[in-house]
Amino acid sequence: MSDMSRIKTFNLPDLGEGLTEGEILAWLVKVGDTIELNQPIVEVETAKAAVEIPAKWAGQVQAIHHPEGTTVEVGTPIIAIDTDPGAGPLEPPSTTATPSGDLPTPSAASLAAVELAPAEGMVEPGLIGGAAPGGRTAVLVGYGPRTTAAKRRPRKAAAPAQAAVPTSSGVDHEVVVGDKPAATPAIPAPQVHDRRDGARGGGAGLGGLVLAKPPVRKLAKDLGVDLGTLTGSGPLGSITREDVQQAASGSVAAAEPVAVTSTATSAASFGADREQRIPVKGVRKLTAENMSRSAFTAPHVTEFLTVDVTRAMKALERLRGRREWRDVRVSPLLLVAKAVLLAVKRHPMVNSTWAGDEIVVKEYVNLGIAAATERGLIVPNVKDAGRLSLRELADALNGLVQTAKSGRTSPADMSGGTLTITNVGVFGVDTGTPILPPGESAILAFGAVREMPWVHKGKVKARQVTTLGLSFDHRIIDGELGSKFLRDIGDFLADPEAALLAWT
């Protein structure tokens, strides 16, 4: 077997639903390791989840092309594997040929003869939008950059044309035009307001002269305010409209001489060492894109319902006490999920998708459960949850949550959702106005269960109460349907046994 046929290059595969890139979180092997077929070799985070990718061949790792933390596109080579390491050492690559073996290494003379294209956006000095030396800018006819010589609009000068520009440091600066220095055209003298009393006030920015823009001067004249008596709060001590208005209202006294302080130095500033920049990528990036698209595509409506769930909580306690349920984690979310599934059977239109010129009503429920993870919000779903028994549903929910917390949720588990529950109650929140996942028409927010005063059988008693929030796509679900669906969920949670007897 030749060396080239022994070395297999493993490309980053498409991990599901048209994902275009992934970030290498961790390499599970290193160069020189012997690996087996289907052995996990790398952990990659996509826009949906972090997954381990198995090896396509057994052999020895020869090269790792991208370090951890690198984002690579699907189809990019990430690792090279020697599939026959027992055949002996590999021959070193030739120094006169490329890895393909058929192209010679270019000589220094040929490299020197290559004309490099200019970097995008480079402009030749003195030209507006023109091409840099050695290149050209390709544009459509009638569009794109001009190649005319740069010109300046002539300005009137209040000082001789050959005067140099004075600076605060006392050094005169010159402007270089072409290859020779030329005197800088004099800067027009700023329009100033002469001081009647000759005193130097706070608005005296340069040489005792008042700095103020013409609109500010006109405002001062109209209001009868003497600019010479004001302390400017603008740049370089210039007087602003606010200074004039405050003086006119009598809230500012006559200014006393003060030193001019740049606002850049007087204003509080903080360095980059007190800021944190978090790259938006992976799950967080996909979530942001999905939420933005959904919020500005589907017209959202949210309704709320506060429910006495005391009987539901007692039913959970009885369920936990049964022998066959003692090893199962039972939470209020289980009853909420069961309530949603039963309500969907009574109102099938809620479990549908807007498809432009038609509405797709689905006879299966892939029930999504929003989960907060270290990498961001994900929504895995229980496939065909409506066909599961209560015990099967409990096992599926527990497995879903544990997998999400460990960061091992697969892209398949997060695709195809039809209806979602977000359990904001675990954070101590009463409810919310959740945004619909793309392609779904309803999402239920389940709030915290609290002991609150409640009128029960004509008397105020302490009862277990929660608040539900239902957001739905108003293109599909009108107010009547949304209200009935939410009411049925509330009825089940208020009295689960009665609802099961009535509806099943």
Give how far Cα 471 sits from Cα of 56, 325, 483, Å. 45, 33, 11
**Whole-number Å distance between alpha carbons of 383 and 388:** 9
Q: Is the C-alpha dihedral spanning 374, 379, 384, 388 positive or negative?
A: positive
Placement of tokens 């073996």 in the chain:
101
Phi–psi pair at 167, nearest 5 degrees? -120, 170
Question: Where would I find the beta strands (DSSP E) of 241-341?
Answer: 300-308
Q: Is the C-alpha dihedral spanning 193, 194, 200, 205 positive or negative?
A: positive
At 111, list the tokens: 């490299």
Phi–psi pair at 254, nearest 5 degrees? -60, 140
Nearest to 428 by CA among 377, 470, 391, 467: 467
Dmax (CA) of the chain: 102
Nearest to 379 by CA among 351, 338, 336, 420: 420
474 catalytic? Reply is: yes
Nearest to 445 by CA among 338, 305, 310, 331: 305
Nearest to 297 by CA among 419, 433, 438, 434: 438
**Whole-number Å distance between alpha carbons of 410 and 54:** 14
Beta-carbon count within 10 A of 368 CB: 25
> Which of 65, 300, 347, 474 is flagged as catalytic?
474
Question: Residue 258, class by beta-carbon neighbours within 10 Å (0-12 exposed, 13-18 middle, 19+ buried)?
Answer: middle
Contact 381, 413 (CB under 8 A): yes
**Whole-number Å distance between alpha carbons of 404 and 396:** 12
**Whole-number Å distance between alpha carbons of 258 and 273:** 34
**Whole-number Å distance between alpha carbons of 208 and 204:** 5
**Whole-number Å distance between alpha carbons of 170 and 189:** 18
At 56, list the tokens: 């396509």
Placement of tokens 């709030």 in the chain:
447
Phi–psi pair at 449, nearest 5 degrees? -90, 120
Describe the crossing of helices 310-321 and 496-503 by its angle, rounded to 10 degrees: 90
Beta-carbon count within 10 A of 90 CB: 13
Q: Which residues are catalytic?
A: 474
